[in-house]
Amino acid sequence: MNALLLQSALRPCIPSYSYNYGCCLREPLRKGISGCLLQNKMNHSGLDSDGREFNNSDEMWREQVGDQSKKTEWYTKGVSYWQGVEATVDGVLGGYGHVNDADIRGSEAFLNTLLSERFPETSMSRHLVALDCGSGIGRVTKNLLIRYFNEVDLQEPVSHFLEAARENLAPENVTVSDSHKAVNFFCLPLQDFTPDVQRYDCIWIQWCIGHLSDEDLVSFFKRAKAGLKPNGFFVLKENIARSGFVLDKEDKSITRSDSYFKELFNQCGLHIWKMKDQSGFPDELFAVKMYALVTEMPKRATRSSMRRSRNRPGLIK
């Protein structure tokens, strides 16, 4: 999802679009298939960046990663796309460097809520560790995670991005105390990465999960669950298609709909603890959602406990 952001520089033949991570996708062009966007079990219909329709995601995945050579090609092209992009904020944001501030503000508000609810008593004393997945040049770590977490590890398959991250996060280039630092820089793709067991309070995955097939996405989250400390959580921040999916043929990524993601979370054995929409982005971009995901079912006040408390006798003053 590279250029994940979508864009703007509209193609002449298409009335209005968005770009995926890096490429042109026209989100709204669903006229022909909107009537059949019924979503059965992983049966999301979708479009590719040329406007071609797929009846369901299985059909698309069979075509894109259906055997080992196709799969290798999918992942090689995805990384190659980014290898040709300059290691700057504007580069990793697909020419939308100006959304960085709004993005970080939205993420920070969400993260504050999560940390204060998840670690209320310990926010000052707990040694917090985060993992920044598909970190690019370390934009999210530098602007956000490093201020809240004592240690941050970065995972990124494109070596010139990771080298830029190392530089951007060198002690002399960050304005945080010595007790907050970027520690490990893992140069490999998410589908081949397994986080260390119980190392992380937060695993942050932003604008990169669209590069993974459904199968590899589910497999990654299942492995990564073991990388969370007790009470740890995932944050997935992603572009959201209005329905089904949009395949970006240039950078080999897909933008999934909210219901598509929810089915995948279910397959991962993850629960949505909180979610929030990103605001303040230009209209031509895909909508962006932040999901906080946990391994256990979030506790909710049940109807009967609410009824009990409502009926509990009150003090007569």
Ligand X SMILES: C[S@@+](CC[C@H](N)C(=O)[O-])C[C@H]1O[C@@H](n2cnc3c(N)ncnc32)[C@H](O)[C@@H]1O
Closest distance of CB 83 from ligand X, Å:
8
> SS3 for 35-104, per residue?
HHCCCECCECCEEECCCCEECCHHHHHHHHHCCHHHHHHHHHHHHHHHHCCCCCHHHHCCCCHHHHHHHH
Distance between CA 22 and CA 255 in Å, rounded? 11
Q: Which two tokens stand for residue 125?
A: 């004393």
Exactly one of 23, 24, 87, 92 binds ligand X (CB under 6 A); which one?
92
Of residues 42 and 79, the one with the C-beta less far from ligand X: 79
On whether the CB atoms of residues 146 and 107 are closer than 8 A, the answer is: no
**Does residue 135 belong to the site contacting ligand X (CB under 6 A)?**
yes
The only residue of 46, 106, 157, 227 in contact with ligand X, by rule CB under 6 A: 157
Could you tell me which stretch among 55-63, 112-120, 184-192, 285-293 binds ligand X (CB under 6 A)?
184-192
Q: Does 201 bind ligand X (CB under 6 A)?
A: no
Smallest gap, in angstroms, from Cβ of residue 80 to ligand X?
Answer: 10
Using CB under 6 A as the binding rule, whether residue 169 contacts ligand X is answered as no
Q: Which residue in the shown chain puts its C-beta closest to ligand X?
A: 136
Q: Does 82 bind ligand X (CB under 6 A)?
A: yes
Instruction: Find out whether 92 and 137 touch, Cβ atoms under 8 Å.
Output: yes
Name the token pair of 172: 């002399």
- 138 φ/ψ angles, rounded to the nearest 5 degrees: 85, 25
Q: Indicate the pairing of strand 24-25 with strand 151-155.
A: unpaired
SS3 of residue 238 by DSSP = strand
Within 10 A of 118 (CB to CB), how many other CB atoms are there?
18
- Minimum CB separation of residue 139 from ligand X in Å reads 4
By CB under 6 A, name the one of 26, 118, 211, 225 that touches ligand X.
Answer: 211
Q: What is the largest CA-CA distance in the chain?
A: 76
Q: Give the one residue of 26, 30, 118, 139 binding ligand X; rule: CB under 6 A.
A: 139
What residues numbered 18-47 form the site for ligand X, per CB under 6 A? 21
DSSP code of residue 286: P
* Closer residue to ligand X, CB minimum distance, 78 or 232: 78
Is 189 one of the binding residues for ligand X (CB under 6 A)? yes
Q: Is 214 in the site for ligand X (CB under 6 A)?
A: no
Those residues whose C-beta lies under 8 Å from the C-beta of residue 74, and which sit 6 or more positions away, are 64, 65, 213, 252
195 binds ligand X (CB under 6 A): no
d(CA 20, CA 27): 9
- Structure tokens that stand for 144 in this block: 């956000």
- CB 34, min distance to ligand X, A: 28
Nearer to ligand X, 30 or 195 (CB): 195
Least Å distance between CB 78 and ligand X? Answer: 4
Cβ at position 215, least distance to ligand X in Å = 13
H-run or E-run covering 280 = none
Q: Which residues of the shown chain bind ligand X in the complex (CB under 6 A)?
A: 1-4, 21, 75, 78-79, 82, 92, 134-136, 139-140, 156-158, 161, 189-191, 206-208, 211
